[in-house]
C-alpha cells in the first residue's frame, strides 16, 4: 500500500498527544509537572549541583539559620544542622534517596503486580479465587506492619524498608490489572483475536498491554506518592534509612532533636516531602482528568 | 468572587471556635501530684539488679532508703536508716545503729506487721552477697554494682548484735566502703515481704512489686508508658506534700521538653544540650546545673581482634579530635577528659598524658598493625541522653567522619536502651560510646567498675579489658587512708591506661536538671539518681 | 443470603489461617531462638531449653508444631513479652482498645466531614467552590502525617498552649484500665472527678485525632466527589431530571445511594491507611496504643511481641475489611465484587 493518502493532510494526533494537550490546558497540572521535574532533576544530578558533600561536617558552623534569616549566611542556603552539615545539600541528596528509591520501588511493584494480575485475570475458577483471597489478606495488612516485620527479620535499613513497601504496593497493582484484564477479556476485539488463534501471551502483549498503559501510569503516580510518604515515614521512625544516609524522613527526625533552637530543620525537610507528594498527586490528577477528557470525547 | 471567601471565613471561625473552647491555657493541675518525665523503662524495680541511671532514678530514692545517705548540698555521708555508725581503728569492723519505728510500705499487695530492723539489713545485704542465699538467684542472680566493686568478696560477715544494731566485718581495709553503702544500689528491702513471697512460691515478685521504706510507694507500671507511685503516708522523714508521683516515660528528648513547656511534666530527665538556651530563656522553666562526677568515653572491645592490639586502639584515638567532639556534642558544657577522673575529684591528675588529634600518625600506626584501608568496625552509640554523653548518636556520626579520613569505615549501631545493654553485656560490640556517673565520690568508683577484671562479668567493664597489674594498683590504693599514697597509685594507673588505652576518655560533663519554676526543693543529687521525696509543687 | 454468609465465613477463616501461618513462620524467620520467639522466655540453660522445646512440641514436625500453635492461640496462651515478661494477651488487650478508640474517632470525623464536603463539591463540580475544596483536599492529602502531627504540636501545644500532647489523659488521674476503652474506664473508676477526667481525656484526643483524620478526610472528599460526578453523568439521572424531579429529590433518591455504594470498598482501604497513620501518630503523642507498642517492640527487638502484635493487628484489619465487604455485598448483591470507583 502506498503511503500517499488524502487523509494524511489532516493531522491525527496520537492518543498521547491528545492526552498531553488536555493535560497542558490545566495550569496547575503544568506547575505540578515543573516542580516534579525539579525533583527528578535533583534525583539524577544531586552530586553535580549540591554545593557541599551531604555528610561533610563543618563543626565551625553548627545550626546556622537559613540565608533569609537575619543572622543566616549565604554560604548555606537552607542553613546547617546540628552536625554542621549543609541542609540544602542534604535536602538535594535526600530527594535523590527518597524519590529515587520510591521510583524504583514502584517500578518493581508494577512489574510484579502486572504479571500476577494478568495471570489472575486471564485464569478463572478456583485458582483465581485463591489468588483473590490471598490478596485480600495482604491488602489489609498496613504497610507499617509489613515494614516492622521485615525490619524484625532483616534488620533496619533503606533496602529492607524498600522490600516492605514493594510488598505493600504489589496487591494494588494486581488488583487493578486483574479487574482491567477481566474487563477487557469480555470485549469483542479480544474475542476476535482469540478467534484468529492468538495465544494468551500474544493477546496480552499485542492487545491488552497497549490499552493498559494509561491505567498503569495513573496507578503508578498514585503508588509513587504512597511510596514517598511510606519511605519517609519509615525513615522518620528510624526503621528505614540509617545515618548518615540523607533521607528526607530521617533528616526530619534528626531535625526534631534540635527543633526548638533550629525550627528550619523541621520545616524544610517537611516542606520538601510535602511538595514532592503534592507535585506527584497534582501530575497524577492532571493525567487522570486528561485521560478522562480524551476518552469522553 | 464571594464563594472564594467562604473557606477562609469558615476556617478562621473554626480556629476561633477551637480557641474559644479552651480560652485559658491547658493546665494540668487536677490532683496534687508530681509528674517526672523519664527517658526510658527501668530494667527492674530493684536497683541492686542494675547499674543504669534509669533504674536508679525510678527506684533508688523514691521507693527505698539506704543505711547511709549523701548530703545533697555537701556531698558528705550522713545517717539515713542507720542513725549512727562507728568504725574500728584497723578499718575492718563497721557498726551501725539502726533507726527505730521506720515502717515499710503498706500496699494492696503487702501489709507489714513489724517495723524495719536488723533482719531487713541482713536480708538486703546477704541477697547479693551470698550465692547460697535463697533469694540470690531470683531475677537472674546478677548484682552488677557489687560484683564490679568486688564488694561481696570483701565482706567477711554481717551480724545482728541486737534488733537495732548491725556489725559488718571486712576482710581487707576498704576506704570506699561507707561511700558504697550510701550509693543508690545499697537499698534496704523488707525481709518480711520476702518471706511472704517465698511462702507463696512467687519470690520474683520482690523485684516487680517492690516494698521499701522510701517516700513513695509503688502503685502501677505500664511498660513504655508510666510508673505510678502513691505517697507513703508513714514516711519516717515526714510524709511528702504530693499525693502521687508519676514517671511519664518519654524517650524523645524533644517531646520531654515539649511536655515540660506545656506543664504536662513538672521536671524532666536529661534535657538535651541544644535546648538549654531555650529553657534558660523561658521564665517558667528552671535549668539547674552542677559539676558532675562523670566521664564519657569511647571503649574498645579488647577481646575482639584487632582491638586487642594497643597500637590499633591508639591509632583510633589519634584519629579523632576530642575538642571538636566536645564542642559539637556538649556545646561547651564539658571539659576535656585526660584520664578517668574529673577535676572535682581529689585524685585528679592535671598533667596526665592525653592523645592529640593526629590522623597521619593514626594511619601510620594502623599500617604498622597491618590494618588495611577499608577496614570496617562498629561504633555502638547509647540510644539515651546521659549527662556524660548527651548525644552519642551525633558523636558517633562525627567519629564516623574522622575515621573515614584514615580509611576506616564505621557502622553506627543503636538499639533500644534495654536491648542495647543486653547486647553490650554479651560483648557483641567492636567499640562503644558510653560513660559512667559516679555513685560515690571515691576515685575507686571510677577505676574499678570501669576497667577491673571483676567488672567484665558484671558488665560495667565495657572494654572487657583485664590487666592484673592494673587491678593490683587499685587494690593497693584501697589498703590505705593516706591520700597522698593513694594519689600516687592512681597516677600510676593513669600511666598504665595511657599506655594500653583500652578506652579513650572524652569528656567530663556538667549535670543538668530542668524543671518548672513552681517546684520547690528540686536539687541535683551529687551522686546517683534523682530524689523527688522532698519536692513540692506550688499551686496557683 | 445464607450462601453469601457461608462463603464469607469460609473466606474469613481461610484468611485467619493464613495469617496465623504467617505469624507461625516468623518463629523461624526472626533472628532469635525459635523457642524464645514463641514463648518470650530466654532459656537460661540447656535443661530449660530442652524442657521448653518439649513443652511446645518444637521437636516434632512442622505440621504438629503448627497445630499446637493454633490450639495455644485459641486457648489464649500467647506467650510473654521478651522484654517485660508480661503476658502478651494482657499487653495487647490494653493497647488495642486505645488504638481502636483513636481510629474510630478519626473515622467518625472522616465520614462526617468528608462525605458531605465531597457531595457538595461533586454536585457543584468545576465551580469555584468545588475547585477550592478540591485543591484543599489535594493539598491535605499530600501532607506527611508525622510532619502534620509535629506541626500541630508546635502550634497548638507549644505556641498557644491550648492542648496537651501526652497520652490519653493526664496521668495524675488514676484510672484503672479495666476495659482498655478510656471512656468506659472513667465511668467505672472510683474516687475520680469524672467530669474533669472526661474533659481532660477529650482535650488529649483532639490533636491526635485531627492529625489522623486530616489526611483521610482529604481522600474521602476526593473519592466521594468523583463518585458523585460519575453518577451524575449516568443516563438514569438524566431520565429522572426529565421526569421533572426536583434536584433535591434526585440527589437523595438517586445520586446519593448510587454514589455511596462504590465508596464502601474504598473505605475499607482507607481504614488500612488510617490505622497506619494512627500507628505513626501514636508514637508522637505518647498514645499507649498498639502502634506505639509495636514500634517500641521493634526498637527493643522483642520478637515474641512482634509475632503476636502482627497477628492481632492484621486480624483486626482483615476483620473490618471483610465486614465492610460483606455489608456491601448484602445490601447490593448485584454488584460485581471488585467494581469500585476511582478517585
C86 vs B204: CA distance, rounded Å: 13
Report the C-alpha gap between B535 and C8 in whole angstroms.
61
| A274 with C31: Cβ contact below 8 A | no
Same domain, yes or no: C62 and C203: no
- Spell out the residues 6+ positions from residue A202 whose beta carbon is closer than 8 angstroms to its own: A193
> By CB neighbour count within 10 A (0-12 exposed, 13-18 middle, 19+ buried), where does A48 fall?
exposed
CATH number listed for the domain at residues A26-295: 1.10.3720.10
Q: Which residues in chain C touch residue A239, judged by CB atoms under 8 angstroms apart?
A: 295, 298
Please answer yes or no on whether B274 and A244 come within 8 Å at the CB atom: no
Q: State the Cα–Cα distance between residues B281 and B270, nearest whole angstrom.
A: 18
Cis omega before residue A244 (within 30°)? Answer: yes
* Whether residue C108 is found in the same domain as residue C33: no
> Whole-angstrom Cα distance, residue B197 to residue B191?
10
**Which residue of C81, C153, C299 is in closest CB contact with B258?**
C153
Q: How far, CA to CA in Å, does A109 sit from each of A172, A224, A278, C149, C152? A: 9, 10, 21, 29, 34
- Look at C144 and A274 and tell me if their CB atoms are within 8 Å: yes
Which stretches does DSSP call E strand in B353-449?
375-381, 408-413, 431-437
The partner residue sitting opposite A229, judged by closest CB among C19, C144, C298, is: C144
Residue pLDDT, tens place only, A90-122: 999 999 999 999 999 999 999 999 998 888 777
pLDDT surpassing 70 at residue B539? no
Angle at A58 between CA A56 and CA A59, to 5 degrees: 135
Handedness of CA A227, A228, A233, A236 (dihedral sign): positive
> Which residue segment(s) compose the domain that C125 sits in?
89-342
Assign residue C272 the CATH number of its domain. 1.10.3720.10
Which of B254, B272, B401 lies closest to A57 in CB terms? B401
Q: Which residues pair with residue B510 across a beta bridge?
A: B291
Assess whether pLDDT exceeds 60 at residue C335: no
Gyration radius from chain C CA atoms: 24
The mean pLDDT of B179-188, rounded to a whole number, is 90
Residue B9's pLDDT is: 44
How buried is residue A2: exposed, middle or buried, by Cβ count under 10 Å (0-12/13-18/19+)?
exposed
Q: Which residues contact C48 (CB under 8 A, 6 or more apart)?
A: none
Q: Where are the domains of chain B?
A: 2-45+214-284+517-537, 68-197, 294-511
CATH class assigned to B68-197: alpha beta
Q: Using the 3D structure, point to which of C46, C74, C102 is the last residue of a domain.
A: C74
B10-38 pLDDT tens trace: 444 444 444 444 434 565 555 678 999 99
Q: Are B65 and B214 within 8 A, CB to CB?
A: yes
What chain A residue is nearest to C17 in terms of C-alpha separation?
A137
Instruction: Name the strand (E) or helix (H) holding B68.
Output: strand B68-70
Instruction: Please tell me what DSSP assigns to residue B101.
Output: S
- The whole-angstrom separation of Cα B289 and Cα B260 is 17
C195 and C290 housed in the same domain: yes
Q: Do C170 and C232 sit in the same domain of this protein?
A: yes
Contact between chains at B393 and A260 (C-beta distance less than 8 A)? no
- The pLDDT value recorded for residue C196 is 85
Please give the grid coordinates belonging to residue B247: 514517671
- Asked if the model's pLDDT at residue B303 lies above 60, the reply is yes
Closest approach of chain C CAs to the CA of B518, in angstroms? 17
Residue of C nearest to B3 (CA): C129
A63-93 tens-digit pLDDT = 888 888 888 788 888 888 888 888 999 999 9
Evaluate whether B444 touches B477 at the Cβ level (below 8 Å).
Answer: yes
Do C36 and C141 belong to one domain? Answer: no
Residues C243 and C201 in one domain: yes
Q: Which residue(s) pair with B169 in the sheet?
A: B93, B157
Does residue C269 belong to the interface with chain A, where contact is any CB pair within 8 Å?
yes
pLDDT higher than 50, residue C237: yes
The pLDDT of residue B22 is: 42
User: Do C301 and C219 fall into the same domain?
Assistant: yes
Inter-chain contact C296–B224, Cβ cutoff 8 Å?
Answer: yes
* Mutate: best of C150, C151, C166, partner B, most B CBs <10 A: C166
Pairing of strands B226-231, B408-413: unpaired
| Fold entry, domain B294-511 | Dipeptide-binding Protein; domain 3 (3.10.105)
* pLDDT band (50, 70, 90) for residue B3: very low
- Number of C-beta neighbours around residue C99 at 10 A: 24
- Residue of B22, B222, B265 lying closest to C162 (CB–CB): B22
Residue in chain B lying closest to C294 (CA): B224
Given this model, what pLDDT does residue A138 score? Answer: 67
Domain B2-45+214-284+517-537, second-level architecture: 3-Layer(aba) Sandwich (3.40)
Task: Spell out the domain ranges in chain A.
Answer: 26-295
Tell me the three cell numbers of residue B118. 536488723
**Which residues fall within 8 angstroms of residue A247, CB to CB, at 6 or more apart?**
A94, A97, A98, A158, A231, A232, A235, A240, A241
Q: What is the pLDDT of residue B18?
A: 46
Residue where a domain terminates, one of C74, C103, C123? C74
Kindly report which listed range (A288-292, C31-35, C332-336) carries the lowest average pLDDT score: C332-336
B529 near B61, Cβ under 8 Å?
yes
Domain end call among C74, C99, C123 = C74
Cα angle at C15 between C9 and C20, to 5 degrees? Answer: 125
pLDDT digits (tens, 9 = 90+) for B355-408: 889 999 999 999 999 888 889 999 999 988 888 888 898 899 899 989 998 999
Per residue in B395-434, pLDDT (tens digit) is 998 999 899 989 999 988 888 887 888 888 888 999 999 9
The count of residues in chain B is 540
Which residues in chain C have their CB less than 8 angstroms from residue A233's CB? 144-146, 280
Domain B68-197 and domain B294-511, same fold? Reply is no
| Percent composition of chain C: helix, strand, coil (DSSP 3-state, to 5) | 75, 0, 25
C150 and A148 in contact by Cβ < 8 A? Answer: no
Count structural domains, chain C. 2
From the list B321, B327, B318, the residue with the least C-alpha distance to B363 is B318
Prior bond of C147 cis (ω within 30°): no
Neighbours of chain C (3+ CB pairs under 8 A): A, B
What does the pLDDT read at residue C114?
92
Do the Cβ atoms of B511 and B290 come closer than 8 Å?
yes
Q: C18 at the A interface (CB within 8 A)?
A: yes
pTM comes to 0.85
- Alpha carbons within 13 angstroms on the beta-carbon side of residue B29 total 8
Pairing of strands B431-437, B375-381: parallel
Which of A139, A152, A274 is facing C143, going by the closest CB pair? A274
Q: For residue A54, give the chain B residue with the closest CA.
A: B401
Contacts of C31 in chain A (CB under 8 A): 153, 155
| CA distance readout (Å), C110 to B256, B298, C284 | 31, 51, 21
Query: How do B93-98 and B82-87 pair as beta strands?
Result: antiparallel
Residue B506: strand, helix, or coil: strand
Q: Is the pLDDT of residue B1 over 60?
A: no
How does pLDDT run across B125-134, given as a tens digit for each residue? Answer: 999 999 999 9
Q: C162 and C61 in one domain?
A: no
Residue A236 sits at the chain C interface (C-beta within 8 Å): yes
Q: 3-class SS at B33?
A: strand
> In terms of C-beta density within 10 A (0-12 exposed, 13-18 middle, 19 or more buried), how is residue B137 classed?
middle
Reduced to 3 DSSP states, what percent helix, strand and coil does chain B have, rounded to the nearest 5? 35, 20, 45
Closest to B435 measured CA to CA, from B380, B478, B353: B380
Closest residue by Cα to residue C270 from C321, C227, C339, C337:
C321
Residues A247-275 have pLDDT tens digits of 999 999 988 888 888 889 999 999 999 99
In a domain, C156, yes or no: yes
What length is written for chain C? 343
Amino acid at each position: 500500500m502506498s503511503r500517499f493518502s488524502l487523509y494524511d493532510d489532516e493531522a491525527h494526533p496520537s492518543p498521547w498527544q491528545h492526552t498531553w494537550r488536555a493535560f497542558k490546558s490545566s495550569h496547575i497540572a503544568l506547575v505540578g509537572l515543573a516542580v516534579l521535574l525539579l525533583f527528578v532533576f535533583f534525583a539524577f544530578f544531586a552530586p553535580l549541583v549540591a554545593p557541599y558533600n551531604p555528610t561533610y561536617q563543618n563543626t565551625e558552623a553548627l545550626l546556622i539559620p537559613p540565608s533569609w534569616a537575619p543572622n543566616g549566611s549565604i554560604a548555606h542556603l537552607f542553613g546547617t544542622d546540628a552536625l554542621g552539615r549543609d541542609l540544602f545539600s542534604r535536602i538535594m541528596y535526600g530527594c535523590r534517596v527518597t524519590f529515587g528509591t520510591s521510583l524504583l520501588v514502584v517500578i518493581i511493584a508494577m512489574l510484579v503486580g502486572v504479571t500476577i494480575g494478568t495471570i489472575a485475570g486471564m485464569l478463572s475458577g478456583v485458582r483465581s479465587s485463591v489468588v483473590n483471597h490471598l490478596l485480600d489478606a495482604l491488602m489489609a495488612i498496613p504497610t507499617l506492619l509489613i515494614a516492622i516485620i521485615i525490619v524484625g527479620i532483616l534488620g533496619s535499613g533503606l533496602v529492607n524498608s524498600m522490600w516492605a513497601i514493594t510488598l505493600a504496593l504489589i496487591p494494588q497493582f494486581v488488583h487493578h490489572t486483574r479487574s482491567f484484564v477481566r474487563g477487557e477479556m469480555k470485549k469483542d476485539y479480544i474475542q476476535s483475536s482469540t478467534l484468529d488463534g492468538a495465544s494468551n501471551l500474544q493477546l496480552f502483549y499485542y492487545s491488552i498491554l497497549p490499552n493498559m498503559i494509561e491505567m498503569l501510569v495513573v496507578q503508578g503516580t498514585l503508588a509513587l506518592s504512597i511510596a514517598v510518604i511510606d519511605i519517609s515515614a519509615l525513615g522518620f521512625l528510624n526503621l528505614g534509612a540509617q545515618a548518615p544516609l540523607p533521607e528526607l524522613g530521617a533528616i526530619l527526625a534528626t531535625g526534631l532533636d534540635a527543633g526548638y533552637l533550629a525550627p528550619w530543620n523541621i520545616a524544610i525537610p517537611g516542606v520538601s516531602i510535602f511538595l514532592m507528594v503534592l507535585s506527584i498527586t497534582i501530575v497524577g490528577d492532571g493525567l487522570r482528568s486528561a485521560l478522562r477528557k480524551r476518552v469522553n470525547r | 468572587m464571594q464563594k472564594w471567601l467562604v473557606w477562609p471565613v469558615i476556617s478562621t471561625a473554626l480556629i476561633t471556635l477551637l480557641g474559644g473552647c479552651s480560652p485559658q491555657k491547658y493546665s494540668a493541675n487536677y490532683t496534687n501530684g508530681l509528674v517526672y518525665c523519664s527517658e526510658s523503662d527501668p530494667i527492674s524495680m530493684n536497683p541492686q539488679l542494675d547499674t543504669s541511671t534509669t533504674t536508679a532514678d525510678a527506684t533508688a530514692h523514691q521507693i527505698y532508703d539506704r543505711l547511709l545517705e549523701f548530703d545533697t548540698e555537701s556531698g558528705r555521708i550522713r545517717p539515713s536508716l542507720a542513725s549512727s555508725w562507728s568504725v574500728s581503728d584497723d578499718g575492718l569492723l563497721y557498726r551501725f545503729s539502726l533507726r527505730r519505728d521506720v515502717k515499710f510500705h503498706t500496699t494492696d499487695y503487702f501489709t507489714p506487721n513489724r517495723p524495719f530492723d536488723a533482719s531487713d539489713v541482713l536480708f538486703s545485704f546477704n541477697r547479693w552477697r551470698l550465692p547460697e542465699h535463697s533469694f540470690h538467684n531470683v531475677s537472674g542472680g546478677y548484682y552488677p554494682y557489687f560484683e564490679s566493686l568486688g564488694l561481696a568478696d570483701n565482706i567477711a560477715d554481717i551480724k545482728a548484735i541486737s534488733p537495732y544494731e548491725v556489725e559488718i566485718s571486712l576482710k581487707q581495709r576498704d576506704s570506699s566502703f561507707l561511700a558504697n553503702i550510701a550509693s543508690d544500689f545499697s537499698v534496704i528491702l523488707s525481709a518480711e515481704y520476702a518471706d511472704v513471697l517465698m511462702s507463696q512460691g512467687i519470690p520474683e515478685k520482690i523485684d516487680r512489686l517492690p516494698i521499701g521504706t522510701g517516700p513513695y510507694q509503688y502503685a502501677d507500671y505500664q511498660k513504655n508508658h508510666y510508673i505510678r507511685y502513691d505517697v507513703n503516708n508513714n514516711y519516717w522523714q515526714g510524709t511528702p506534700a504530693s499525693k502521687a508521683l508519676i514517671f511519664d516515660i518519654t524517650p524523645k528528648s524533644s517531646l520531654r521538653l515539649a511536655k515540660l513547656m506545656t506543664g504536662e511534666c513538672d521536671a524532666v530527665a536529661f534535657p538535651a544540650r541544644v535546648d538549654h538556651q531555650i529553657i534558660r530563656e523561658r521564665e517558667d522553666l528552671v535549668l539547674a546545673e552542677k559539676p558532675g562526677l562523670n566521664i564519657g568515653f569511647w571503649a574498645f572491645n579488647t577481646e575482639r581482634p584487632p582491638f586487642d592490639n594497643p597500637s590499633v586502639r591508639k591509632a583510633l584515638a589519634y584519629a579523632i579530635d576530642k575538642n571538636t567532639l566536645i564542642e559539637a556534642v556538649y556545646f561547651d558544657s564539658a571539659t576535656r577528659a585526660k584520664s578517668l577522673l574529673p577535676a572535682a575529684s581529689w585524685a585528679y591528675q592535671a598533667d596526665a598524658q592525653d592523645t592529640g588529634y593526629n590522623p597521619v600518625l593514626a594511619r601510620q600506626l594502623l599500617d604498622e598493625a597491618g590494618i588495611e584501608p577499608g577496614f570496617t568496625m562498629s561504633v555502638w552509640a547509647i540510644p539515651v541522653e546521659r549527662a556524660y554523653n548527651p548525644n552519642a548518636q551525633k558523636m558517633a556520626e562525627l567519629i564516623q567522619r574522622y575515621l573515614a579520613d584514615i580509611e576506616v569505615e564505621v557502622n553506627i549501631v543503636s538499639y533500644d536502651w534495654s536491648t542495647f545493654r543486653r547486647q553490650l553485656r554479651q560483648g557483641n560490640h567492636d567499640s562503644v560510646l558510653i560513660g559512667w556517673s559516679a555513685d560515690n565520690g571515691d576515685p575507686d568508683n571510677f577505676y574499678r567498675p570501669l576497667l577491673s577484671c571483676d567488672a567484665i562479668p558484671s558488665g560495667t567493664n565495657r572494654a572487657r579489658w583485664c590487666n592484673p597489674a592494673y587491678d593490683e594498683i587499685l587494690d593497693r590504693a584501697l589498703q590505705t587512708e593516706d591520700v597522698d599514697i593513694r594519689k600516687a597509685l592512681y597516677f600510676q594507673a593513669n600511666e598504665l591506661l595511657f599506655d594500653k588505652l583500652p578506652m579513650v576518655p572524652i569528656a567530663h560533663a556538667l549535670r543538668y536538671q530542668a524543671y518548672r519554676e513552681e517546684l520547690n526543693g528540686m536539687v541535683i543529687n551529687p551522686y546517683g539518681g534523682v530524689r523527688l521525696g522532698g519536692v513540692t509543687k506550688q499551686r496557683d | 443470603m445464607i450462601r453469601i454468609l457461608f462463603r464469607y465465613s469460609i473466606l474469613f477463616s481461610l484468611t485467619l489461617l493464613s495469617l496465623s501461618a504467617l505469624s507461625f513462620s516468623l518463629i523461624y524467620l526472626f533472628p532469635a531462638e525459635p523457642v524464645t520467639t514463641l514463648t518470650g522466655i530466654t532459656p537460661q540453660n540447656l535443661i530449660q531449653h530442652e524442657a521448653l522445646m518439649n513443652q511446645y512440641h518444637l521437636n516434632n514436625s512442622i505440621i504438629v508444631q503448627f497445630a499446637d500453635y493454633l490450639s495455644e492461640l485459641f486457648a489464649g496462651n500467647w506467650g510473654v513479652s521478651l522484654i517485660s515478661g508480661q503476658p502478651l494477651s494482657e499487653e495487647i488487650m490494653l493497647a488495642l482498645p486505645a488504638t481502636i478508640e483513636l481510629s474510630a474517632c478519626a473515622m467518625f470525623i472522616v465520614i462526617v466531614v468528608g462525605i458531605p464536603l465531597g457531595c457538595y463539591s461533586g454536585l457543584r463540580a468545576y465551580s469555584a467552590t468545588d475547585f477550592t475544596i478540591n485543591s484543599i483536599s489535594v493539598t491535605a492529602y499530600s501532607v506527611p502525617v508525622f510532619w502534620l502531627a509535629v506541626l500541630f504540636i508546635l502550634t497548638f501545644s507549644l505556641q498557644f498552649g491550648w492542648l496537651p500532647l501526652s497520652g490519653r489523659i493526664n496521668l495524675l488521674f488514676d484510672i484503672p484500665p479495666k476495659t482498655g476503652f478510656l471512656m468506659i474506664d472513667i465511668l467505672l473508676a472510683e474516687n475520680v472527678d469524672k467530669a474533669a477526667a472526661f474533659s481532660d481525656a477529650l482535650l488529649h484526643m483532639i490533636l491526635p485525632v485531627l492529625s489522623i483524620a486530616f489526611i483521610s478526610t482529604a481522600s474521602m472528599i476526593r473519592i466521594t466527589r468523583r463518585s458523585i460526578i460519575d453518577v451524575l453523568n449516568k443516563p438514569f439521572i438524566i431520565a429522572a431530571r426529565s421526569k421533572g424531579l426536583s434536584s433535591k429529590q434526585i440527589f437523595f433518591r438517586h445520586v446519593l445511594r448510587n454514589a455511596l455504594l462504590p465508596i464502601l470498598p474504598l473505605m475499607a482501604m482507607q481504614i488500612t491507611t488510617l490505622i497506619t497513620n494512627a500507628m505513626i501518630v501514636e508514637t508522637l503523642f505518647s498514645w499507649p496504643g498498639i502502634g506505639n507498642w509495636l514500634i517500641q517492640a521493634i526498637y527493643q527487638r522483642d520478637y515474641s511481641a512482634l509475632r503476636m502484635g502482627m497477628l492481632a493487628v492484621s486480624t483486626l484489619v482483615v476483620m473490618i475489611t471483610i465486614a465492610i465487604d460483606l455489608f456491601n455485598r448484602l445490601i447490593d448483591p448485584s454488584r460485581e465484587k471488585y467494581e469500585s470507583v476511582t478517585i
